Amino acid sequence: MQLTGSQILIECLKEQGVDTVFGYPGGAILNVYDELYLHPEIKHVLTSHEQGASHAADGYARSTGKVGVCFATSGPGATNLVTGIATAYMDSVPMVAITCNVGVSLLGKDSFQEIDITGITMPITKHNFIVKDVTKLADTIRRAFSIARNGRPGPVLIDIPKDVTANKTDYKKATIDFTRKLEEVDMDSVEAALKLIKASKKPYIFVGGGAVISEANAELKQFAELVDAPVCDTLMGKGAYDGTSVRYSGMLGMHGTKASNLGVSKCDLLIAIGTRFSDRVLGNAKTFAKNAKILQIDIDPAEINKNVVAFSSVVGDVKQILTIINEKLEQQNHKEWVEYVENLKEQFPLSYPKEGLSGPYIIENIFEQTKGDAIIVTEVGQHQMWAAQYYKYKSPRTLLTSGGLGTMGYGLGASIGAQTANPDRTVVNIAGDGCFRMNLNELATASREQLPLIEVIINNHVLGMVRQWQTLFYNKHYSATVLDDGADYVKVAEALGCKAKRVTTQEEFESAFAEALSSKKPYVIDCIIDSDDKVWPMVAPGKPINEAFDEADYKAKNS
């Protein structure tokens, strides 16, 4: 049958199982929105800004494992998606961003709101397309979704000139196979891995975001038991392994626990699963895990030996590889080594002052009141690290945060996406005041959609993480980091249709958060904490991770 490009786009979205699109209309994409109007089976969430739409699609994808979809028009509409696309690219999030451009005859002529969005996004997409021929549109959309979800996931952009959305061609419905396509695993590399594991006396398992993406939590739990090893993780790996497990020693790296940092520095085999060894994990790459052979398991061969040299590696899907290894591995016993790491945990626990309102207290209380079953979203900064340290993630897809790009302003849009996808779950966005003010306009979206998400602002009236670095490494030169400008976030939130409350004590926070949990509207809690609260422990930039220091160490050194 003959359909317009816009009709083909909507039909292809339905083929792909898309039930929600986040976007913002404009002239070039009007044909698409006119067709979308006739299809209420696809929910459209009108965000306040296109960046909010891209972050919402990201949050939808991270919380469900499905491909997130966002729409934007040409020119500035398309460029406003760029930060969200880059965020998804750095964290391997499956997303399809659909933009429309000026007509084919107007391309390259500096036409009104024309932009080369495929050129702009080429370095930050897994692939992108401009479709100048309507006969190729359906196949391009199907290919885009396949690329986004298969292998190492990532964002794909499709740019469609306006006349292509109006032109007609034959359309034939396709049946889509949603099974992830897995490459065959090299069994020689598996045997080499098994040999390393069996020879190890002090193995440590290090888990990254790839284990979350492949949904390998059950296989990972079995693997840790078989290897009889302690487990640490990255920021992106939270929830792949149960954070309440006795084997779990906390996050690794710059703001990781001393137990994990010291333990990894002593192990003889580091089994790295779905992690790319970012600089925030490594500290000084030359001294990282210097006593260990590194076994790296990752779906992307480009990550092998990129940041650290692996002694051995297995390339493929984490769930698939762990399933194979678990079938072949006999039960190992490392009782003394596991007890050694347990002692490190007891010797160097995470701690904070128990009096007064603080970031760690807020996070711990959120964990207690939600019983660890919430979807936690964060912005970027001190509050993000506290959320990683003090909330115990028991299952995957329960921490949504910008790890690779470190995008301030990410969280509120992402929480809108997560709450839309999971209407019966508690969704909490934890923000700093610096991040909150970047995209606070999306509170209007949450209010319009009547999403009962909870926005917790850990408000220290400064750019907290930057100030922490200025205190520790820049002689307390607080250049451009003080935000004490009289902004009233409670009034702003109420003006945008949300419930809101300001709190200054532990008791006030407990009461406000309990009220927020029972609210059917978006609820903002403005939590006033001290400007000089810091994230501990910390590894100074470029230093070995076994030189992590906490507040007591810092005071002793500088007394």
List, for residues 382-439, the tens digit of each pLDDT value. 999 999 999 999 999 999 999 999 999 999 999 999 999 999 999 999 999 999 999 9
pLDDT for res 484: 86
pLDDT for res 178: 86
| pLDDT (mean) for 469-476 | 96
pLDDT for res 248: 98
Instruction: Spell out a b/e string for 225-257, using b for 16 or more CB atoms within 10 Å of the CB, else e.
Output: ebbebbbbbbbbbbbbbbbeeebbbbbbbbbbb
| pLDDT (mean) for 475-498 | 96
List, for residues 42-54, the tens digit of each pLDDT value. 999 999 999 999 9
Q: With pLDDT > 70 as the criterion, what percentage of the chain qualifies?
A: 100
Q: Is 195 a catalytic residue?
A: no
Q: Is 112 a catalytic residue?
A: yes
pLDDT for res 139: 98
Mean pLDDT over each residue of the chain, to the nearest integer: 97
Angle at 242 between CA 240 and CA 245, to 5 degrees: 150
pLDDT at 258 over 90: yes
**How far is residue 272 from each of residues 193, 198, 243, 269, 438, measured CA to CA in Å?**
11, 16, 17, 9, 35
Catalytic residue among 7, 22, 35, 50: 50
List, for residues 176-223, the tens digit of each pLDDT value. 988 888 899 999 999 999 999 999 999 999 999 999 999 999 999 999
pLDDT at 559 over 80: no
pLDDT for res 514: 98
Measured between alpha carbons, how far is 338 from 377 in angstroms, rounded to an integer?
Answer: 32
pLDDT at 274 over 80: yes
**How far is residue 100 from each of residues 19, 51, 88, 169, measured CA to CA in Å?**
20, 16, 20, 18
Catalytic residue among 22, 51, 95, 162: 162
Q: With pLDDT > 90 as the criterion, what percentage of the chain qualifies?
A: 97
List, for residues 243-256, the tens digit of each pLDDT value. 999 999 999 999 99
Of residues 182 and 166, more confidence is placed in 166
Q: Is 348 a catalytic residue?
A: no
pLDDT for res 61: 98
User: Looking at domain 187-347, which of 1.10.3720.10, 3.40.50.720, 3.90.105.10, 3.40.50.1220 is its CATH number?
Assistant: 3.40.50.1220
List, for residues 78-132, the tens digit of each pLDDT value. 999 999 999 999 999 999 999 999 999 999 999 999 999 999 999 999 999 999 9
Name the residue with tokens 């100030």.
Answer: 467
List, for residues 503-514, the tens digit of each pLDDT value. 999 999 999 999
pLDDT for res 281: 96
Q: Which of 469, 496, 491 is nearest to 480 (CA)?
A: 469
List, for residues 64-81, the tens digit of each pLDDT value. 999 999 999 999 999 999
Hey, where are the domains in the chain? 2-170, 187-347, 359-535
3-class SS of residue 105: helix
- 298: tokens are 């990752």
Angle at 440 between CA 72 and CA 446, to 5 degrees: 70
* Fold match, 187-347 / 359-535: yes
3-class SS of residue 181: coil
pLDDT for res 179: 86
| pLDDT (mean) for 361-375 | 98
CATH topology of domain 359-535: Rossmann fold (3.40.50)
List, for residues 524-535, the tens digit of each pLDDT value. 999 999 999 999
Please give the CATH architecture assigned to the domain spanning 2-170.
Answer: 3-Layer(aba) Sandwich (3.40)
Per-residue confidence at 137, pLDDT binned at 50, 70, 90?
very high
Catalytic residue among 236, 254, 408, 465: 465
pLDDT at 465 over 80: yes
| pLDDT (mean) for 275-292 | 96
pLDDT for res 470: 97
Q: Residue 330 class from Cβ within 10 Å (0-12 exposed, 13-18 middle, 19+ buried)?
A: exposed
The DSSP bridge partners found for residue 2 are: 170
pLDDT at 520 over 80: yes
Catalytic residue among 112, 178, 311, 473: 112
